[in-house]
Amino acid sequence: MKAAVIHEQGGPDVLRYEDTPDPVRGPGDVVIDVEVISLEGGDLLNRSILPVAHFPHVIGYQAAGRVSAVGAKVTRFKVGDRAVCFAFSGSHAEKFCVPEHHAFAVPDELDMRIAATMPVTFGTADYALFAAGDLKAGETVLIQGGAGGVGLAAIQLAKAAGARVFATARSHHAEAMRAYGCDLPIAYDKEDFAEVIAAETGGRGVDLVVDLVGGDAAMVSRLISAVAYRGRLSVVGLSSGEAPSIPFWEIVPKNMAVLGVLFGAEMHTPRAHAMLERHFASAGAGKLTMPIAAAFPLAEAAAAHRFVEETRPLGRVLLLP
Ligand SMILES: NC(=O)c1ccc[n+]([C@@H]2O[C@H](COP(=O)([O-])OP(=O)(O)OC[C@H]3O[C@@H](n4cnc5c(N)ncnc54)[C@H](OP(=O)(O)O)[C@@H]3O)[C@@H](O)[C@H]2O)c1
């Protein structure tokens, strides 16, 4: 099969479109002929800095397509079914092989392009907001990094749950977040989000922060200052490229909870499957969505990664084999 393969880590140009062996299917695996690959924030990190098991390596978390083969122990899928699949690598290819518990049926009414973007974005957002963050109607939440895929999913889910939603983005995208349910967009390149939160909440802070950006000690301090006494901080991502470290003397006096989130470790669970089925139905009915900023042929994966890094578009970019 053809795939976008890396032989070393680095910038977008390490991606080479070439022939590589088909994935080896085990008895519990589902293989799809990939129709749409969603370029995830984490794909950029895997290409550039996060450790990978070996080279050559096919990166990529998420893709949707038609089931082309199933292992002998697979019970929920047959050849021809529509599915969106997740794995910690392998999506940037014509064929994607995942354990059955990481494959999700795509309902007929759901556009395959939207489906391809959903498990990681909406699943992570749901986990960070509710399973970890325990968000309830009437509470306030700050989404740090609201214009990305997980951020836009989190804004939509938090709004639907009855929360008051604040979200940060560059001024270029800040206002656009309103269309997805953000009550107060904060342009972090023009205003200090911690000051805005303090002013908007009478100095109390928000009940929950979902952090998709990370950053240095100064950024983490400002983020923690935006959390209310006994509030919660869901630590999800590091799209700034810097992993946050959590300062003892800032979290302990607040009696606040710091919650780590790795949705990939939860994705196989019945809870995650039921939750995603619900969100797929909502998306099929037009109640949830994900903006698609651009689509590139898989052969131009390097250009697609460069486009995402250089322009930081609103929502998702797709790769099409
Ligand atoms: N733990 C988990 O289970 C899990 C699951 C999925 C994703 N993640 C991680 O979560 C993060 C977000 O994922 P994603 O897929 O939503 O990424 P994405 O679509 O690439 O979005 C990243 C967002 O971060 C913002 N950003 C980038 N650099 C920034 C900076 N220096 N300062 C402030 N904001 C910045 C960008 O917005 P602006 O352009 O407006 O700045 C963009 O909206 C990634 O680090 C990803 O690896 C974790």
Is the shortest distance between the CB of 9 and ligand 1 below 6 Å? no
The reported pLDDT for the residue numbered 241 is 86
Percentage above 90 pLDDT, the chain: 96
Mean pLDDT of the chain: 97
Where are the alpha helices (H) located in 87-138, listed in sequence order? 112-126
Of 241 and 232, which is predicted with more confidence?
Answer: 232
Reported confidence tier of residue 93, pLDDT bands at 50, 70, 90: very high
- pLDDT tens, position by position, 274-316: 999 999 999 999 999 999 999 999 999 999 999 999 999 999 9
Length of the chain: 321
- pLDDT tens, position by position, 253-272: 999 999 999 999 999 999 99
The CATH classification number of 120-264 equals 3.40.50.720
- pLDDT tens, position by position, 97-130: 999 999 999 999 999 999 999 999 999 999 999 9
Is the shortest distance between the CB of 312 and ligand 1 below 6 Å? yes
Percentage above 70 pLDDT, the chain: 100
Is the shortest distance between the CB of 276 and ligand 1 below 6 Å? no
Is the shortest distance between the CB of 177 and ligand 1 below 6 Å? no
Intervals of CATH 3.40.50.720 along the chain? 120-264
Burial class (CB in 10 A: 0-12, 13-18, 19+), 127: buried
Is the shortest distance between the CB of 313 and ligand 1 below 6 Å? no
Q: Is 266 helix (H, G, I), strand (E, B) or coil?
A: coil
Q: What is the pTM of this model?
A: 0.95
Going by C-alpha positions, the residue among 190, 236, 246, 193 that lies closest to residue 216 is: 246
Q: Is 279 helix (H, G, I), strand (E, B) or coil?
A: helix
CB 80 within 8 A of CB 66: yes
Mutating to test ligand 1, I would choose from 102, 150, 267 the residue with most ligand atoms within 8 A of its C-beta, which is 150
Reported confidence tier of residue 133, pLDDT bands at 50, 70, 90: very high
Domain 2-109+285-320: state its class: alpha beta
d(CA 119, CA 268): 11
d(CA 281, CA 81): 17
- Beta strands, E only, 154-291: 164-169, 184-187, 206-211, 227-235, 257-260
The reported pLDDT for the residue numbered 242 is 93
Reported confidence tier of residue 53, pLDDT bands at 50, 70, 90: confident
Intervals of CATH 3.90.180.10 along the chain? 2-109+285-320
Answer yes or no: is pLDDT of 52 > 90.
Answer: no
Answer yes or no: is pLDDT of 200 > 90.
Answer: yes
Task: Return the number of other C-beta atoms located less than 10 Å from residue 299's C-beta.
Answer: 14
d(CA 46, CA 78): 31
Is the shortest distance between the CB of 186 and ligand 1 below 6 Å? no
Is the shortest distance between the CB of 262 and ligand 1 below 6 Å? yes
- pLDDT tens, position by position, 152-197: 999 999 999 999 999 999 999 999 999 999 999 999 999 999 999 9
Q: What separation in Å is there between the alpha carbon of 27 and the centre of ligand 1?
A: 35
Answer yes or no: is pLDDT of 49 > 90.
Answer: no
Mutating to test ligand 1, I would choose from 43, 213, 267 the residue with most ligand atoms within 8 A of its C-beta, which is 213
